[in-house]
Amino acid sequence: MAAPALLSAPQPMDGDGDGVAPHAAPSPTQPPPERGFLSRRPPVRVTSEFDSERKLFSHRISCRVLDGLAKLRLRVHQGAAGGVGPGPEVALVARNFSVVVDTASRGAVLRGAADLAGSLRLRASHNTKEGLGEVAVTTNLGDSPCKMEISSLVPPDGLPRATFVFPNGEVSVKEKKLDEGEKILSVNGIVKSHVLNGVCTALYNDNAMNIKYRYKDDELSFIPSLSLPSNSLSFAFKRQLTPSDKFSYRYHFDTNYWSAVYKQKASKHVKWKAGYESDERLGWASLWVGDAGGKTKETPLKSKIQLMLKVPQDNIQNSIVVFRVKKRWDF
């Protein structure tokens, strides 16, 4: 590495040779010194998490490589008190290509995508351990916002799946194998529509349908839901009491199970919650420091902390305290 110049170069002598150059032109600007290895390396981000309920430490190290075109990521898990967690995972993620390697199973998942002629787009994935993959081709239908996708497993296991995507939902047709070995065509889909100042969603999957209606304004949310053919009915109710207080309630008519949650936001980065779940006969309260719903980089001090108390109704003496910590460092 070239060291920066400490003394300027001597001024040239003029034509008379008397060593005086009253009107000598200034020396050209010196090029900036070359940067060292540490200044040329990409920024490195280290994120550490601990979950006391799972007794698991998780560490993630990531940095941009290839002039920012891809991200290199390393995940390491470690069980507390000598426990064993999932094996390390190494990933290289780019815009149209990614490879994730599970060092414990010695397997990798490769994914890629590419634009073909016109509006055709190809995407593919392959799991080296299982020897299975998928190939899909998507295209726009003329100038309309609708799309058509044809996908198939590799190696093939029946007819390819066809999916039609339109602005208010999508419908897919695929071949399904029954327990008796017979193959039939299965139709799945989801449709959304605005009804009475709300959004109605119908989800159809394997001969079962769920119809959900969601009404929401600045202070109130009401979400009834009906499942067919079981006729299971439930509803959720959310009410913004004040700008910092919110109450939500959910009830299932077929089981009589219900749950309630009260939330209060003391500040942008401090909030606490309390609730009860009748199916588990469990009451709980939690305190969040940091943006509970946001990413770590959006929180103060680059960290998030959750402290939760769980109190079983049938055995208060078995109450437990659970805490989760997430901390980030940038180098």
Q: Decide which of 23 and 80 is more confident.
A: 80
Query: Which range is least confidently modeled, 22-26, 88-92, 112-116?
Result: 22-26
Burial 199-221 (b: 16+ CB within 10 A, else e): eebbbbeeeeebebbbeeeeeeb
pLDDT at 10 over 60: no
Q: Decide which of 157 and 248 is more confident.
A: 248
pLDDT at 106 over 60: yes
Q: How confident is the model at residue 196 (pLDDT cuts 50, 70, 90)?
A: confident
Residues 146/166, Cβ–Cβ less than 8 Å: yes
* Spans of all domains in the chain: 41-105, 113-194, 257-331
Average pLDDT over the chain reads 84
Other C-beta atoms closer than 10 Å to the C-beta of 304 total 23
Q: Taking residues 312-324, report their average pLDDT.
A: 90
Q: How confident is the model at residue 261 (pLDDT cuts 50, 70, 90)?
A: very high
Q: Taking residues 293-315, report their average pLDDT.
A: 75
Q: How confident is the model at residue 30 (pLDDT cuts 50, 70, 90)?
A: low
pTM across the whole model: 0.70
Q: Decide which of 176 and 87 is more confident.
A: 176
Q: How confident is the model at residue 201 (pLDDT cuts 50, 70, 90)?
A: very high
Distance, in Å, from the CA atom of 16 to the CA atom of 232, rounded to the nearest integer, reads: 105
Distance, in Å, from the CA atom of 230 to the CA atom of 206, rounded to the nearest integer, reads: 13
Other C-beta atoms closer than 10 Å to the C-beta of 132 total 13
Distance, in Å, from the CA atom of 133 to the CA atom of 131, rounded to the nearest integer, reads: 7
pLDDT at 246 over 50: yes
Looking at residue 37, its pLDDT comes to 45
Q: How confident is the model at residue 250 (pLDDT cuts 50, 70, 90)?
A: very high
Residues 259/278, Cβ–Cβ less than 8 Å: yes
Consecutive H or E run containing 37: helix 37-40
Looking at residue 7, its pLDDT comes to 37
Q: Decide which of 136 and 142 is more confident.
A: 136
Residue percentage of the chain with pLDDT more than 90: 56
pLDDT at 90 over 90: yes
Q: Taking residues 76-100, report their average pLDDT.
A: 83
Top-ranked range on mean pLDDT: pick from 84-93, 114-123, 224-233, 264-273: 224-233
Question: What are the residues facing 234 on neighbouring strands?
Answer: 225, 252
Q: Decide which of 9 and 225 is more confident.
A: 225
Here the tokens at position 48 are 């550490």
Looking at residue 3, its pLDDT comes to 42
Q: Taking residues 107-111, report their average pLDDT.
A: 95
